[in-house]
């Protein structure tokens, strides 16, 4: 998949693939290639955006700026369920390292004025698989509040760079 030129009307497989979590979902096959959620191997794909020609990037983090991802638990489970896809197992094993590297890259771009970063201003305990409507609403409301407080700063960034 390379971009919107690969999208076809009423073909939702790319969207399905973007949320296909290894060990919880089967990969989504597109043109004979199996896909999982890209966040497994590239949690914050800023490098890809730059390669595609973006000169400024808005990054929306779902965790606070100082969040430290822990190594994935249940290795036996995901390594068994994903045994046909050793690269996925490797990516899950390294996910906490990759996330830290991605985050550092984002902060470096922010210092250079090439990225604008939104992150929750308060800690909200929410996980990848959260289905708790109350917690999701708290996070949503916090995002609205944080955006309102920084929207002029964002407009300046988009108009002039920082």
Q: Which residue has the tokens 């995901």?
A: 78
Query: By percentage, how much of the chain surpasses pLDDT 70?
Result: 94
List the chain domain ranges. 4-160
- Residue 1, pLDDT above cutoff 60: no
Give the pair of three-digit tokens for residue 118.
């939104």
DSSP assignment of 5-24, as one string?
GG--TT--HHHHHTT--BTT
pLDDT digits (tens, 9 = 90+) for 96-143: 999 999 999 999 999 999 999 999 999 988 777 778 899 889 999 999
As a whole number of angstroms, the distance between CA 102 and CA 158 comes to 22
pLDDT digits (tens, 9 = 90+) for 140-160: 999 999 999 999 999 999 998
Global pTM value: 0.81
Mean pLDDT over all residues of the chain? Answer: 90
Give the pair of three-digit tokens for residue 127.
């996980």
């Amino acid at each position: 998949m390379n971009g919107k030129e690969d999208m076809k009307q009423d073909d939702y497989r790319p969207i399905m693939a973007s949320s296909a979590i290894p060990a919880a979902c089967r990969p989504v096959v597109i043109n004979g290639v199996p896909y999982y959620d890209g966040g497994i191997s590239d949690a914050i794909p800023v490098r890809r955006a730059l390669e595609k020609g973006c000169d400024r990037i808005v990054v929306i983090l779902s965790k606070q700026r100082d969040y430290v991802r822990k190594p994935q638990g249940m290795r036996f489970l995901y390594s068994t369920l994903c045994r046909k896809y050793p690269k996925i197992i490797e990516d899950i094993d390294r996910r906490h390292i990759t996330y830290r590297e991605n985050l550092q890259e984002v902060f470096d771009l922010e210092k250079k004025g090439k990225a604008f970063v939104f992150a929750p201003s308060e800690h909200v305990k929410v996980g990848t698989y959260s289905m708790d409507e109350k917690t999701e609403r708290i996070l949503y409301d916090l995002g609205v509040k944080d955006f309102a407080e920084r929207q002029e700063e964002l407009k300046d960034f988009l108009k002039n760079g920082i």
